Amino acid sequence: MSREIDTATLQEYDRKFVWHPFTQMREWEESSPVIITHGEGSFLIDSDGNRYLDGVGAIWTNVHGHCKREINDAIKNQVDRIEHSTLLGLGNDKAALLAKALIDIAPSGLAKVFYSDNGSTAVEIGIKMAFQYWQQRGRKEKTRFISFRNAYHGDTIGAVSVGGIDIFHEVFRPLLFTTIQAPSPYCYRCELAECRDSSSCGLLCLQRLEDLMAAHAGETAGLIIEPRVQGAGGMIVQPRGFVRKVRELCDRYNILMIADEVAVGFGRMGTMFACQQEEVTPDIMALSKGITAGYLPLAATLTTQDVYDAFLGEYRELKTFFHGHTFTGNPIACAAALASLVIFEKERLLESLPEKISYLSARLAELHRLRHVGDVRQDGMIAGIELVRSKETREGFGWEERIGVKVCLEARKHGLFLRPLGNVIVVFPPLSISLSEIDLLIDGISASVQAVCD
Ligand SMILES: *Cc1c(COP(=O)(O)O)cnc(C)c1O
């Protein structure tokens, strides 16, 4: 065994050589970054042996906890067989088995699996598929997309084009294609002048969406939605029934529905997929984050027989979907994903969720009492706690005050690792979290919010 490198050296290498995502590096270089070396269940362990409850589940990917024995074993077994071949001209056993397993659990009607390796590519593939579909169905004028305000679909150029978060996306505007943007369907964030209250907000947003569809159906290829919860936009929860209505509107106006389940898929909502909460089958579904339970990069874009069929033809017709990534269908990643699905069954994970979800919701309800908690949103095992200067006027903290960041740093003193979205504290733990760990999480958040905001 080689001696472990000391924390100071690791921090120095990190500060000197690593450029971190979504991070102002000038500040980072002056900080003492926590260096994670191990994980165990719901906990992250740093190079000094400190333990942190992982409140954001390894950036929304973790399902069964860290360092889960069955998945470790599946990966080790696969590595001793083969690490990678290619899906360009070859199949592999794990990619075939996983595709079958995904179709078995997906909303009925989804029939084909196109692999890639991250959420952004899964979305790009969905967009390109929808676009080419209409080209090959003889509707060449259907080239545009409807997206939602506050949406987040990833960081590559196509995914940013359908995004709706100005602070991330605005600087890239000249590089992007334009979309038809619908309001974000949640009262606290809808930004509609005529919105009065949450009971009518959903209907109002649907009306706006329908007006846009009626005006643009002829030129619209697809609509992309994060079903039930807009994640990076601030954990914005949609009214129940909204996804179902969006499906109906897409049918009425002949628009392909792309469900971006990158964040909400794999049990997060209490069902395997969020669309299943509303018995919806999208035309295209993007999956990634939870697919390997947080182990390895893998993504899948699922679609229907109808979409797939539009790409069939003689080779010289050039109807082929000319898209593919080098690590498409990587067998180690697919083996991890298969092992994760076995654990879902064996541990009856979905059956265990209603109790956790209602416990989380009971504990979250207590946070409403805090002076600076303006809104608490939850759906399934996702929550967002929005901090405001004044509850009465809904006046927020300025983004430059970075209240969310301060609360998350404070939370480390309570043994939590959290990562905010602006002034929204995110709760997105491993689905395997226990009720007593939920207590730890909510108690720590409550204490940290009071320490920073009061
Ligand atoms: C994280 C996320 C993506 C992007 O996934 P990456 O793997 O980071 O590229 C896309 N859509 C949603 C809803 C996400 O939460």
Domain at 338, CATH number: 3.40.640.10
- Residue 2 pLDDT > 60, yes or no? no
* 202 and 296 in a common domain: yes
Q: Which of 292, 321, 346 is the last residue of a domain?
A: 346
| Token pair 């600087």: residue | 171
In a domain, 3, yes or no: no
In a 10 Å sphere around its CB, with 0-12 CB exposed, 13-18 middle and 19+ buried, how is residue 338 labelled? Answer: buried
- 214 shares a domain with 142: yes
* Cβ atoms within 10 Å of 53's Cβ, excluding its own: 22
* Distance (Å, whole) CA 362 – CA 31: 36
Query: Same domain, yes or no, for 365 and 314?
Result: no
Residues ≥6 apart with Cβ < 8 Å to 146: 179, 180, 181, 182, 209, 212, 213, 216, 220, 222, 223, 224, 255
Tens of pLDDT, residue by residue over 345-372, are 999 999 999 999 999 999 999 999 999 9
* Residue nearest atom 11 of ligand 1, based on CA coordinates: 153
My answer on whether 320 and 425 are in the same domain is: no
SS3 state at 14:
helix
Measured in Å, residue 21 CA sits from the centre of ligand 1 at: 13
Instruction: Give 120 Cα–ligand 1 centroid separation in angstroms.
Output: 6
- The DSSP code for 109 is T
The residue nearest atom 6 of ligand 1, judged by CA position, is 119
Residue 429 resides in a domain: yes
Would you say 351 and 388 are in contact if contact means Cβ atoms under 8 Å apart? no
- Using the mean position of ligand 1's atoms as its centre, give its distance from the Cα of residue 263 in Å: 7
Specify whether 294 is located in the same domain as 426: no
Q: Of 282, 312, 346, which one is at a domain's C-terminal end?
A: 346
What is the Å distance from ligand 1's center to 297 Cα? 11
Residue 401 predicted with pLDDT over 60:
yes
Last residue of a domain, one of 323, 346, 369: 346
- pLDDT digits over 264-299, tens only? 999 999 999 999 999 999 999 999 999 999 999 999
**Ligand 1 centroid distance, CA of 119 (Å):** 4
Share of the chain above pLDDT 90, in %: 91
Of 126, 71, 109, give the one whose Cα is nearest residue 338: 71
What counts of helices (H) and strands (E) characterise the chain?
15, 16
**What's the CATH number where 419 sits?**
3.90.1150.10
Task: For residues 415 and 427, state if they share a domain.
Answer: yes
Contact present, 70 and 293 (Cβ < 8 Å) = no
Residue 26 lies in a domain: no
User: Would residue 392 count as lying in a domain?
Assistant: yes
pLDDT digits (tens, 9 = 90+) for 179-233: 999 998 876 667 777 777 777 788 889 999 999 999 999 999 999 999 999 999 9
Task: Count the residues in the chain.
Answer: 454
93 and 148 co-located in one domain: yes
Contacts of 213 (CB under 8 A, 6+ apart): 146, 220, 223, 249, 250, 252, 253, 255
Q: Whose CA is nearest to atom 5 of ligand 1?
A: 119
Q: How many distinct structural domains can be found in the chain?
A: 2
Minimum-distance ligand 1 atom for the alpha carbon of 121:
9
Helix, coil or strand: residue 280: coil
Q: How far apart are CA 360 and CA 353, in angstroms?
A: 10
| pLDDT of 3 | 67
Q: What atom of ligand 1 comes closest to residue 59's alpha carbon?
A: 1
Same-domain check for residues 192 and 255: yes
3-state secondary structure of 60: helix
Domain that holds residue 355: 34-64+350-453
CB 55 within 8 A of CB 43: no
The protein residue whose alpha carbon is closest to atom 15 in ligand 1 is 263
Which residue, among 305, 274, 310, 268, has the nearest Cα to 290 in the 3D structure?
Answer: 268
- Ligand 1: which atom is nearest the Cα of residue 159? 10
Distance of CA 230 from the midpoint of ligand 1 (Å): 11
**233 and 265 both lie in a single domain:** yes
CA of 5 to the centre of ligand 1 (A): 33
Whether the pTM exceeds 0.85: the reply is: yes
Is 242 contained in some domain? yes
Residue 238 and residue 106 in one domain: yes
What residue ranges line ligand 1, CB within 6 angstroms? 118-120, 123, 152-154, 226, 231-232, 260, 262-263, 288-289
